[in-house]
Amino acid sequence: MSHIPYGRQSITEADIAAVAEVLRGDWLTTGPAVTEFESKLSSVVSARGCVAVTSGTAALHTAYAAAGIGAGDEVITPPLTFVATQSTAVALGATIRFADVLPDTGTIDPTHVDALVSERTKAIVAVDYAGHPAELDELRDVADRHDLLLIEDAAHSIGSTYRGRPVGSVADLTTFSFFPTKNITTGEGGAIASDDPHLLTRLRRFRNHGLVREPEEFSMSDVGPWHQEVQEFGLNYRLPDVLAALGSSQLDRLADFKSRRARVFSRYETLLSDIEGLVLPTRHADVDPIWHLYPVRVPAERRRRVFEHMRGCGIGVQVNYIPAYWHPAFDRVDYPRGLCPIAEEFYAREISLPMHPDLTDGEVGLVASCLRAAMA
């Protein structure tokens, strides 16, 4: 039986030509193609600037570092996300506080966030689950009242809009992922968007070892024209030109990707809406998501059987995500089961169906038919 993948990149001859052009040129690592990609990305997300890095995880790490997050700070995140949302903050010495999620969208609950804020809180992290933006205005209100940074983990949602504004234009820092299954790809890659010039400078320095090259900011003087210095440690998170060229070409197709994903979403909705016991994903009226996932929910006691039935049909289903604090890296005493009951119940029932722009109506029909049989 043919396999229908859970997610898949969409590569055209134009993408290949863009990469080949860089390979024939003078730059492979960070150079003019990265500058072009960052400029194009800034325009798409309506941000003052974007900083390209090597992965979505690197984007989170760089954003937290630019925000000055470190030992003694607390960062509030939802548990319904890939663990990189938390691990990169922990790597800088921060403590994670988990806020529960909204039962319909799986995005972080602003009311619970507000209740968790303490004198040690440094940032609120919103995760746009499945491509649906979090409640950004409500979270902005909480952040502003407590003088906190609002960071948006938009790994799923480049191309989404929130109350008429592109994702990337609302939070203080917005991180993106360009992994092959995401809405656009650079193979491996990520980026951070911001309107704050100070944060943009810190982002660019951190992704390049922390190097300072502006003479007016040197701590040492009269050293020589070759001089550069590290005032705060950073890492090598530079995106190569060859990958940025692919990203620029993919950005040209973002609107098409969005419409094709919307078509798949609508087809699923038509074919699955009458299945008893199945909860379909929903969207709020004030957002226009790009659907990265199609997360359905089935009765918890039947989830494994449904999952295995789908895999047996050659359907590449997945589960997104185990609550982050269930990972053994988190201490069970500080992060007990039941900490975020809505997120845990969401996880216990969730299965992600295949969602990518090249899915045909026939393939969507086959997925729906297999799920209907599994739910019977």
Q: Which residues are catalytic?
A: 182
In the chain the first and final C-alpha atoms are separated, in Å, by 21
Residues with Cβ within 8 Å of 144's Cβ and at least 6 positions away in sequence, in order, are none
Structure-block tokens of residue 145:
């009242």
d(CA 273, CA 38): 40
d(CA 131, CA 133): 6
Structure-block tokens of residue 117:
């804020």
Residues with Cβ within 8 Å of 216's Cβ and at least 6 positions away in sequence, in order, are none
Structure-block tokens of residue 271:
């074919």
Q: What is the DSSP letter of 208?
A: B
d(CA 194, CA 171): 8
- Sign, CA dihedral 134-137-141-143, equals positive
Element (H, E) at 51: strand 49-53
What does the DSSP assignment read for 63-102?
HHHHTT--TT-EEEE-SSS-THHHHHHHTTT-EEEEPPB-
Q: What 3-state DSSP class applies to 192? A: strand
Instruction: Supply φ then ψ for residue 191, to 5 degrees.
Output: -160, 160
Helix boundaries (H) for 100-225: 110-116, 136-145, 197-206
**Burial of 221: CB neighbours in 10 Å, binned 0-12, 13-18, 19+:** exposed
